[in-house]
A and B are shown apart, each in its own frame.
Chain A
Amino acid sequence: GAGVSQSPRYKVAKRGQDVALRCDPISGHVSLFWYQQALGQGPEFLTYFQNEAQLDKSGLPSDRFFAERPEGSVSTLKIQRTQQEDSAVYLCASSPGTLSYNEQFFGPGTRLTVL
């Protein structure tokens, strides 16, 4: 595709509900990242995949957050039993290589609101 796409663009969940956010990276990009961006803040790293392997999940705030990329392309970020503090924009980014010198291409994000 032309760029990174994410769906849904907006999600409203009641507290306690589970949500699943999808990311379609740029075709052929090896690296995939998830970020959480609270209002007025910079993106905060959540997790990193190299192909299908989740190499870094140090940023996931709790065990309610789970991410997968089973075939090394599309990724899903799942949040179980959502809480109000989970309200944020969730950004996905991909990068063509595995080195930290590569730029990251961001998707439009999913704005999650937990009521």
Chain B
Amino acid sequence: GQQVMQIPQYQHVQEGEDFTTYCNSSTTLSNIQWYKQRPGGHPVFLIQLVKSGEVKKQKRLTFQFGEAKKNSSLHITATQTTDVGTYFCAAYTGTASKLTFGTGTRLQVTL
């Protein structure tokens, strides 16, 4: 079935360094959502991208949707310890109700 892959699986950075996670699909996506899950917590919605080539920013976070709508990225500038968690991309695949989550990228930030 439809799979949404993310790389890297894990990244460890020092506070202040930048971080990027990439999300790839084999098929064209209608939209893509990003969620953050803190350790021991539940997924929290960050943003949704709909348009080809769309770029959205939230403070230090920049989200991009590829021109072909098959890939997306999340870039964090100058990471902070509060950025620790797992970042998932997610897309509706197959039916309009089935949200398929990517494999996730776990971010660890140390001082």
Contact = CB atoms under 8 A, between A and B. Distances in A.
B31 A109 contact: no
B43 A31 contact: no
B43 A91 contact: yes
A43 B43 contact: yes
Contacts of A104: 43, 45, 99
Nearest to A55: B97
B24 interface: no
Interface string A89-115: 001010000011101111111000000
B102 interface: yes
Interface residue tally on A, bucketed by range: 20 to 34
Given A100-B92, A101-B31, A101-B50, A48 B45 contact: no
Nearest to B30: A100
Interface residues of B, number: 24
Interface in B63-89: 88
B43 A106 contact: yes
Contacts of B30: 100
A103 to B, nearest CB: 4
A104 B103 CA distance: 18
A32 to B, nearest CB: 10
A108 B42 contact: yes
* 5 smallest beta-carbon distances between A and B, as pairs: A42-B101, A48-B97, A103-B45, A100-B92, A106-B42
Interface of A: 31, 33, 41-45, 48, 50, 55-56, 58-59, 91, 93, 99-101, 103-109
